[in-house]
Structure 1
């Protein structure tokens, strides 16, 4: 009896083990199936992609560009049959020359880029920013390698060329905006030749200063130039104030001289007319005219005298009464 029971127990355990083994194998198969399905789903999910509002997607078939898709959700064949590259075509991008932005409001200068030789042998420190937008994403991605760096190097080359054509004074003062415009134009022409597919929006010269080691000397020179300009302006102001005054005084003197000359001419003309009239009267009545002239002269010379004593040519004293001459009573 004892041996029979042991056999039954062993048989029972064998059956239980077999069932457990079958369940384990079935579970393993299910796990494998689920994993396989998950892998297949994940694999096919590689063909689903989303494009943002300001972006386009460049789809490649076996590594070669095939077509472009716009914003939205799209599907293509999974990797490695097809892949895609997302390109932002609306956002304005920028490249910095002579400095780098660490974080908003904090910058680090790159001296090897900032120092540029001018046409008169001086050196200036220039910090510039080039702003651009992608106008042809296919050329931007597939025509050149690292198109953004090419934009930076092209702008820097044009900037050095334009500054090398000018003196340091021109760069620091009046020619700054003109340099920005010329660099903009040259950079765009070169990038069009390179077929990069970008449009330059603007080239900004943020800072153009002498190198730090000589900035004190430049400040002295600039101060001297400013003093020179100030003195010149003060002299011009003084001259502008003085010249009208002198011109007015000159004009006044000229007008007075012309008036005096006119007065003398009229006076002389009047005297001539008076002399001629007296001459005519003298011709008609010499004695009367002579006496009248004497009386007028005496009245002018001695306006208050009533009697005048004359000494004639024979040394005789003669009493001359003006009242009698002019018809008075002599009292």
Structure 2
């Protein structure tokens, strides 16, 4: 072949061989073969392709997947025999629900999409939820051949799962303590749904950007929120007051209980002493009833009439007037 081309391009070789006229007649045919060879070479060269460092190459033969190739320079049979689809498996893709980013930092601007953001809560209220879903490709074959529009699939699946999660929570729970729980549960449910689709997608993160109420009721919501804050404030103040007053009340109750116990013991001991004295008086009364009765009568009169002159007259009728001056007797006169 090379000798033929050399002879074709070198006119001197034709004269030396005495074939000049015949060679000129064969020239168009030779150029045609060269053109065919060049075209075939270009056609075969179309099978050369490169797979990026973050990509995987999926080779198809007559439209059917046959193999996966790693990053680097590769070759496949030219079309229509074989073709290649490259999938970026390291790129973190993002889907926005309830809003769209118009321009990024440093001067970010966003557009609200109410038809996506408004969701019905479990207590019949409406919440406005905006979120961002970040995902990766974990199975390039499923991602490339099972999905036509992966972004739309992720968006619609996320919106459906999020509405289901919000519908199980009240408005207060959605706005406050259950917000992180909703994000976590949405991520798990969304991953399970995409696995059922055979999407070849791994959910990296579900982040709730903004959870509020519709603008039409925002002022009323703030009023309710302020009232709840006042309620919590009063409850906290009452709790602090209770923590202060209850220990003091318990101390006072303990003190009163101790005093009552002391009074109880005093009364018991006093009663026991009275009983002992009564028993002693009874024993004396049994020995001398008249003397004991008289002594008791005199002691009682001294207690009843402490500041009066007292004279006791005997009731015996023997012709004598018997007097007993209690003041002089008690005073030692």
Same fold per superposition (TM over 0.5):
yes
Q: 1:182 deviation in Å? A: 2.8
Partner of residue 3, structure 2: none
Give the alignment of 1:259-278 within 5 angstroms.
Answer: 259-278=262-281
CA distance in 1 between counterparts of 2:177 and 2:257 reads 46
1:203 Cα deviation from its structure 2 partner: 1.7
Q: Alignment partner for residue 160 of structure 1, among 158, 163, 177?
A: 163
TM-score, reference length from structure 2: 0.72
Q: Report the alpha carbon displacement of residue 167 of structure 1 after superposing the two structures with TM.
A: 3.0
Q: 1:93 to 1:216 in 2, by over 3 A?
A: same
Aligned-partner SS, 1:77: coil
Alignment partner, residue 103 of structure 1: 104
Residues 226 and 68 of structure 1: CA distance in aligned 2, closer, same or farther (over 3 Å): same
1:61 maps to which residue? 61
* Partner deviation per Cα, 1:169-212 (whole Å, 9 max, x = no partner): 22112222232233223322322222111122232211101123
1:1-331 maps to which residues of 2 (within 5 A)?
A: 37=38, 43-101=43-101, 102-104=103-105, 106-111=108-113, 112-281=115-284, 283=286, 311-313=311-313, 314=321, 316=323, 320=328
Q: Distance in 2 between matches of 1:103 and 1:198?
A: 26
**Secondary structure in 2 aligned to 1:151?**
helix
How far is 1:322 from its partner? 7.0
Report which stretch shifted further, 66-75 or 40-49: 40-49
Shift of 1:124: 2.2
Distance 1:168 1:321, change over 3 A: closer
Q: Deviations over 1:204-252 (max 9, x none)?
A: 2111011233322211111112112222332333334333332332232
Equivalent pair of 1:295/1:322 in contact (CA under 8 Å): no
Tell me the residue number matched to 2:9.
Answer: none
| In 2, Cα distance between equivalents of 1:118 and 1:216 | 19
Q: Match of 1:4? A: none
- SS of structure 1 residue aligned to 2:133: strand
Q: CA deviation at 1:142?
A: 0.7
How many residue pairs get aligned? The number is 292
Instruction: Report the secondary structure of 2:159's partner residue.
Output: helix
Contact 1:99 1:107 in 2 (8 A): no
CA distance in 1, matches of 2:104, 2:329: 121
Q: CA RMSD in A?
A: 3.8
1-side partners of 2:323 and 2:142: how far apart? 136
Unaligned regions of 5+ residues in structure 2, if any? 1-26, 314-320
